[in-house]
Structure 1
Amino acid sequence: MQLDTFLTDPEAGWSMGSFGAICEFHHVAGDPMPAAGPGCRMVTARGGIRLDRLEEVRPVAWEALSRDATRWQQGVSLCLPEGGYAMATRDVLTELGPDDGALRDTDRGAILFDLGLAQAQVDFCIRTNDPDLIAVLRGALGTSVFAPGCPAMPAILSRHPARIALSRIGRIEVYQKIGGPETGGASPIGPHTHLLPQLMRSGRTHSANTPIPAGWIPVAGLHPASAVSDPLGQPRAFDRARFDAFAALLDQWGDPETLAVKTATRDALARRIAPEDFTPPGDRFGRVALRVALRQAARTNPSALLDRYRQTFDKTEEGAEGG
């Protein structure tokens, strides 16, 4: 399976950024299919993505818990080695000049500004040809956009420029409005951005719930179609074809130890081993794999024995481990 094949899957989503500063690209049902460009790129009226250097990427397929005890989460983190992922890590607002790498020809004269978020694996930028916004930003160059009295962020939030995530493997561009009063307080469907200073201050490169191998750093993410959730995150009737498709990705790109936990769980259920005679894994990700396997078994092969396993190892009142 090649990563670029997912660019033409209307239910696959993509993300690029860090823990707290991220751009997401999704196709919106009913919109025209994204227009393919040279190389690995897709563009819509709402946003776009370009992927480079995929031959250097290590895909890591993973599953995690959902707060909804009938569902689980999944994804593929696109990782680079620790020595090859870092971006500029600017910590002040910086003008970068015309965006010659813009996905659309019409945007290549617009000015790119790095917001100076000091995130290791992404330069989080905005792009604009609005002369009034450019004047405000140029007046704030060299300062933090979060500094008291800095006019940059209020101007950005009111004028909704394009947001650009730049990483070592490409870029995602978002053209839609920034979530806020003009969008009903929520991010718009399709391409959108999240900027969460409290998460950025943690200094983490990724969520603790994502099992990234030592020595690797995620710089982007692929979000294949889910068997239990639609692209907006709402529950859907279980889809066996989507379930099997992601299982194939786990076999190709997943962690062998957590896959072994899922295999042992399915085997114990098939052999009708009592839950009190089953030894659960002792590590965090192993426990997650056990609980995910039980939730998946509830969709594929429910039984009274499975109910006992879930009561023992996946009590719904515990919620999702780590959120």
Structure 2
Amino acid sequence: MISIPSPCVGICRMDESTGLCLGCARTGEEIAIWRETGEAQRRRIWAALPARFERLGLTLARLPWTPSEILAFVAGKLRSREGSWAIGCYGGVAEFRAEAGEDCEIAVDGERVTARTDRGALRLRIGDAVRALALYETPGQQDLRAIFLVVARLRAGLPVASGLSALGADRAAILPQDRGQGLYDLGLRRTITRFCIRTDKAALVETLTPALGQSWPNYLPAVGAAILRESPVRVVESALGRAEVRTPIPPPGAASIPGPHTHLLPDLLAMGREMGPGFELPEAYAPGAIFYPSPPAND
């Protein structure tokens, strides 16, 4: 029998006036007995939490989903074309969604779910360490803003490039025919995500090569126009997987096109934020992917 997960979100601080945890809204006694208590009592505790969240003014909550239930949620939303999925950080993100009428191939293989259209692809691995946190508009209500798939921060680190770097052939590409193309890390210096481009176009490779090793965003004057012109595949990775975007890069100031797209905004990246304002997570967790029931406001 699969055990019901703990509601803990990594904020373990008690509210003196209510005696409730300001992270999970349990009492101290409920926290103390959680490991030994039965499934029926765990369900009763979970059922009591929404009213307590309203009382405490909390909008972030863990969902009582096992990894297999998280995997089923991801696959289900992809199949029904509901919402969109994002991987990245504030100012450097890839978003994947399939539009109505667009062919979308979806496969589930063990812990891994993959979705692919002609314009982009998403691959996520939902292992035992993955947690699902929901962010609501209103405390105690079900007006969902986003669902974060997270892992413990200690598990979330990726290789960090100090500048524009050639990573060699992209052996992890979702399509086998892409695995011989060159992958270039843009060197955003983020520990939880990396933003890359993939190309086999000689003209773009020739432009990128002299700029290798230069730090972000200092190399942009030398290579930015070529990247915009050639519009290579953008590959954004996290500890949970990757998103690949094939749509054209819009010119500066233009709106993103419907469907898969990326944002790479130096001014926002310079702020050093992992998440956008109002989307903060507990320090214990790092985001691996985000589900938005409707497109984010900056689209």
- Shared fold by TM > 0.5? yes
Residue aligning to 2:175: 104
User: CA offset at residue 37 of structure 1?
Assistant: 6.5
Displacement after TM superposition at 1:90 (Å): 1.4
Are the structure 2 counterparts of residues 232 and 123 from structure 1 closer, same or farther at C-alpha, using a change threshold of 3 Å?
closer
- Does the aligned pair in 2 maintain the 1:21–1:196 contact within 8 Å? yes
Identity over aligned residues, as a percent? Answer: 35
Aligned to 1:31: 102
Report how far residue 35 of structure 1 moved.
Answer: 4.2
> 1:17-96 counterparts in 2 under 5 A?
17-36=88-107, 38=109, 39-64=112-137, 74-96=145-167
Give the drift of 1:148: 6.2
- What is the root-mean-square deviation of aligned Cα atoms in Å? 2.2
SS in 2 for 1:2: helix
Give distance in 2, aligned partners of 1:45 and 1:58. 30
Q: Tell me the CA shift for residue 223 of structure 1.
A: 1.9
Contact 1:34–1:43, Cα closer than 8 Å, also in 2: yes
Equivalent residue, structure 1, for 2:13: none
SS in 2 for 1:55: coil
Output the CA distance in 2 between the equivalents of 1:85 and 1:140: 29
Q: Any unmatched runs of 5+ in structure 2?
A: 1-68
Q: Structure 1 residues 217 and 138, CA, compared in 2 at 3 Å: closer, same or farther?
A: same
Q: State the distance in 2 between where 1:148 and 1:43 align.
A: 32
Shift of residue 152, structure 1, vs aligned partner? 1.8
Amino acid at match of 1:202: M
> 1:41 Cα shift?
0.6
Residue 2 of structure 1 is matched in structure 2 by: 70
Q: Confirm whether residue 197 of structure 1 aligns to residue 270 of structure 2.
A: no
How many angstroms apart in 2 are the aligned matches of 1:202 and 1:60? 24
CA distance in 2, matches of 1:29, 1:53: 26
CA deviation map 1:253-283 (0-9, x unaligned): xxxxxxxxxxxxxxxxxxxxxxxxxxxxxxx
For 1:119-130, what aligned pairs fall within 5 Å after superposition? 119-130=190-201
Hey, what's the Cα distance between the residues in 1 that align with 2:221 and 2:127? 38
Alignment correspondent of 2:57: none
- Distance in structure 1 (CA, Å) of the matches to 2:296 and 2:269: 25
SS, match of residue 56 in structure 1: coil
Say which structure is richer in helix: 1
> Aligned letter for 1:61?
A
Q: For residues 209 and 108 of structure 2, what CA distance do their matches in structure 1 show?
A: 33
Where 1:83 maps in the other structure, the secondary structure is helix
How has the CA–CA distance of structure 1 residues 109 and 59 changed in structure 2, closer, same or farther, with 3 Å as cutoff?
same
Detail structure 1 runs of 4+ shifted over 4 Å in the superposition.
none
Whole-angstrom distance in 2 between the partners of 1:120 and 1:105:
27
SS of the residue corresponding to residue 258 of structure 2 reads: coil
1:251-270 counterparts in 2 under 5 A? none
Structure 2: distance between partners of 1:157 and 1:21: 15
Aligned 8 A contact 1:91 1:144 in 2: yes
CA contact 2:149–2:290 (8 Å) conserved in 1: yes
In the alignment, which residue of structure 1 is the partner of 2:5? none
Q: Does 1:216 align with 2:289?
A: no
1:128–1:149 distance in 2 versus 1, CA, 3 Å: closer
Deviation at 1:217, TM superposition (A): 1.7
Q: Give the corresponding residue for 1:311.
A: none
Distance 2:163 2:170 in 1: 19
2:49 matched to which residue of 1?
Answer: none
Match of 2:28 in 1: none
Task: State the secondary structure of the residue aligned to 1:113.
Answer: strand
TM-score (norm 1): 0.63
More strand by share: 2
- Count of paired positions: 220
Q: Contact (CA 8 Å) 1:144, 1:150: kept in 2 or not?
A: no
Tell me, what secondary structure is at the counterpart of 2:267?
helix
